[in-house]
Homo-oligomer: A and B are copies of this chain.
Amino acid sequence: MEEFLKEWHRMVKERDLAALPGLLSEDVVFHSPVVHTPQAGKRITAMYLTAAFHVLLNDTFEYVREISSDHEVMLEFKVEIDGIEVNGVDIISLGGDGTIKEMKVMVRPLKAMDVVRAKMAAMLERKPE
């Protein structure tokens, strides 16, 4: 977990999106903050996370709390988007090989969910992959 977190934080800090697929298991499952149905597989998860990074990783983005066990971690973040304060968590489970086998994102409050949903929809319609 320590090694994973070091690489995750490096990737986020350097906006190194090219490193993302290497951190995902082939059969990774992604749970979005907005939609109930999970997204399964590396290709679609990489697409969603790449769009999410484009939406979330502006200059105000920062991780503010971290709680971890040997194979699971909750990373809490804050970011301001269009004047709206977005507070959220990434909850990540690692597989035996140290890559992400499950990732779930939640955001609060309601206004933050609205702005993230709108921005993600616009980003995914642009087909970033």
What is A's interface to B at a CB cutoff of 8 Å? Answer: 31-36, 65, 67-69, 72-74, 76, 85, 87-89, 91, 104-113, 117
Q: Chain B residue with minimal CB distance to A88?
A: B106
B residues less than 8 Å from A117 (CB atoms): 110
Number of copies: 2
- With beta carbons under 8 angstroms apart, the residue of B34, B74, B105 that contacts A91 is B74
B residues less than 8 Å from A110 (CB atoms): 33-35, 113, 117
B residues less than 8 Å from A32 (CB atoms): 108-109
Complex Cα gap A28–B118 (Å): 33
A72 to chain B, nearest CB (A): 5
- With beta carbons under 8 angstroms apart, the residue of B33, B36, B67, B88 that contacts A74 is B67
Complex Cα gap A36–B91 (Å): 21
B residues less than 8 Å from A112 (CB atoms): 36
B residues less than 8 Å from A109 (CB atoms): 32-36
Most chain B CB within 10 A, of A73, A88, A89, is at: A89
B residues less than 8 Å from A91 (CB atoms): 65, 67, 74, 76, 89
A22 to chain B, nearest CB (A): 24
Q: CB distance B68 to A67 under 8 Å?
A: yes
B residues less than 8 Å from A33 (CB atoms): 108-110
